Structure 1
Amino acid sequence: MTTSARPLVLLDVDGVLNPFRRPSSRFARHECVVDGCSYQVLLDVRHGEELLSLSEDTGAELVWATTWEENANEEIGPLIGLPRMPVIKVMAGAGAARGEHFKTGPVAEYVRGRPFVWFDDELSPADWEYLTEHPDVGDFLLIEVDPRNGLSGWDIDRAREWLAAAQG
């Protein structure tokens, strides 16, 4: 359970920070090792700067919502300049009951009424419905990131505008 009243920015890795193709030369290839397995990821260091700016400008807390879980703090964050961040244990979820993403239940339990923006590439109307009906979820914005290109300036601007409006 979280105790802060700050809004949240939930962040996925694959398809969001690590797009499925190299959309520009700004993305550098990195090798990450998780549980003895090597993974190639494409990362843009500017994403770290943009997310930190978003957090500072809006007072939002950055939180990992990714299957990388704590490995995101070890392997991804340092490569793009992000500090250690809280992690939602999305792999501990019970699974999707009505077509929502398997991460959606753990996200709903984590947010505890705090407003949040969620950057992910696999969100659907079923996730919006689940979150809308969940008693512990307040205001939220789901931003479905294009997994071919990853997180865009437009995605971050949308989050910034929504967080500013949510704060009054």
Structure 2
Amino acid sequence: MLLFLDIDGTLIPFGAPADHPYPVYGTDPTPSSPLLTRIDPALGPRLEALRCDLVWATTWMDDANTVVSPWLGLPPLPVVEWPDEEEPPSLLHWKTRALVAWAAEQPFVWIDDEITEADSAWVAIHHHRPALLHRVDHEFGLTDADFTALEEWLRTNRGPR
């Protein structure tokens, strides 16, 4: 089972009201991203515990492996290379078609803060294996409730790995 993982708004929460300060997890030893310390390093082991093949699906591209993977204690992960293409059909997220193509006929989970019903409907028509498009609230990033939903779906839909 593949798990496509976004970073901004998914691992790095943003956009909360000013009276809701984000926790800070340590200090970033590099000036790579001032928001890196918003990522809870405990998310790395929790993601690995889902027993999926983790894949970066983010505009961070290879920086996800040089900056975020070490912060989370993850090994380098495959990175989806985004094709240069025209704007996708209206309402469809620009990542949707590329992720379905990357997954081929493998079941997958996609975790992102920008997924819409249009993406879910398109995937249901164009991908013939189980797929969960899980939208995360960008103000909080991945939460316990998100992990509960992911674990329940995986229990029901996981085939042989």
Tell whether the structures are fold-level matches, with TM greater than 0.5. yes
Q: Relative to structure 1, is the Cα distance of residues 94 and 80 closer, same or farther in structure 2, using a 3 angstrom cutoff?
A: same
Name the residue aligned to 1:165: 156
Does residue 10 of the first structure (1) align with residue 4 of the second (2)?
Answer: yes
Does residue 155 of the first structure (1) align with residue 146 of the second (2)?
Answer: yes
The 5 Å alignment of 1:82-161 reads 82-90=74-82, 92-134=84-126, 136-161=127-152
- Deviation, 1:23, is 6.0
Q: Greater strand percent: which structure? A: 1
Using the alignment, how far apart are the partners of 1:46 and 1:26 within structure 2?
Answer: 13
Residue 46 of structure 1 contacts residue 80 of structure 1 at CA under 8 Å; is this kept in 2?
yes
The 3-state SS of whatever aligns with 1:44 is coil
- Deviation, 1:25, is 2.8
Residue 23 of structure 1 contacts residue 148 of structure 1 at CA under 8 Å; is this kept in 2?
no
Using the alignment, how far apart are the partners of 2:30 and 2:116 within structure 1?
Answer: 29
- Deviation, 1:152, is 0.8
Counterpart amino acid of residue 77 in structure 1: S
Name the residue aligned to 1:43: 39
Using the alignment, how far apart are the partners of 1:74 and 1:54 within structure 2?
Answer: 22
- Deviation, 1:144, is 0.5
Using the alignment, how far apart are the partners of 1:47 and 1:161 within structure 2?
Answer: 18
How many equivalent pairs are there? 153
- Deviation, 1:29, is 5.7
TM-score by length of 2: 0.84
Q: Relative to structure 1, is the Cα distance of residues 137 and 77 closer, same or farther in structure 2, using a 3 angstrom cutoff?
A: farther
Residue 23 of structure 1 contacts residue 149 of structure 1 at CA under 8 Å; is this kept in 2?
no
Using the alignment, how far apart are the partners of 2:109 and 2:21 within structure 1?
Answer: 24
Unmatched tracts of structure 1, length 5 or more: 1-6
Name the residue aligned to 1:53: 49
Unmatched tracts of structure 2, length 5 or more: none
TM-score by length of 1: 0.81
Which range moves more in the overlay, 11-20 or 85-94? 85-94
Percent identity among equivalent residues? 35
Using the alignment, how far apart are the partners of 2:99 and 2:150 within structure 1?
Answer: 17
Using the alignment, how far apart are the partners of 1:137 and 1:95 within structure 2?
Answer: 24
Residue 92 of structure 1 contacts residue 106 of structure 1 at CA under 8 Å; is this kept in 2?
no
